[in-house]
Copies of this chain bind each other. A is one copy, B any other.
Amino acid sequence: MVYGSGAADAAADDRLDAVFAALAHPVRRELVQSLARADAPLTMGRAAAAHGLSPQLLNKHAAALERAGVVRRVPRGREKVLELDAAALAAAQQWIGEARAFWQQRFDALDQYIADLEDESA
């Protein structure tokens, strides 16, 4: 154990806040999907057109994704290409996975508990 075990440091917490919040909007999820499947680098302009968004609005959504570390905007000439950073997604996915793992184990324990009760009452 390195620092605190119960409080689960605040920086990671903030990051998860941002990642989950970023994914909590259909447009941003579609954006992420586009980036995940894209076979060619996607610029802001092309992304906006592809999703029928104004450049300004896309900019805001891209900023949200960037805040969360899900996406980087890399300048190339006068345009910027969007790059997905799968690490942030992995962190969120892992969080859910851990919660589910705990739950599964608790579920099994409850099962056992109920079985024990039935043994006693038998």
Tell me if A49 is interfacial: C-beta within 8 Å of chain B.
no
- Whether, in the assembled complex, A2 has its beta carbon less than 8 Å from a beta carbon of chain B, the answer is no
Does A86 interact with chain B (Cβ within 8 Å)? yes
The segment out of A53-61, A99-107, A114-122 that lies at the interface is: A99-107
Asked whether A97 and B106 contact (CB < 8 A) given A20-B21, A20-B24, A24-B20, the answer is no
B102 touching A33 by the CB < 8 A rule?
yes
Known: A20-B21, A109-B39. A32 touches B89 (CB 8 A): no
Q: Which of B13, B26, B38, B93 contacts A93 (CB 8 A)?
A: B93
Query: Shortest beta-carbon distance, A91 to chain B, in Å?
Result: 10
Q: Is the CB of A17 within 8 A of B24?
A: yes
Is the pair B21, A24 in contact by a Cβ cutoff of 8 Å? yes
Is A1 an interface residue, CB under 8 A from the partner? no
- Are A36 and B86 in contact, CB atoms less than 8 angstroms apart? no
Chain A residues with CB under 8 Å of chain B are: 13, 16-18, 20-21, 23-26, 29, 32-33, 35-39, 84, 86, 89-90, 92-93, 95-97, 99-100, 102-104, 106, 109
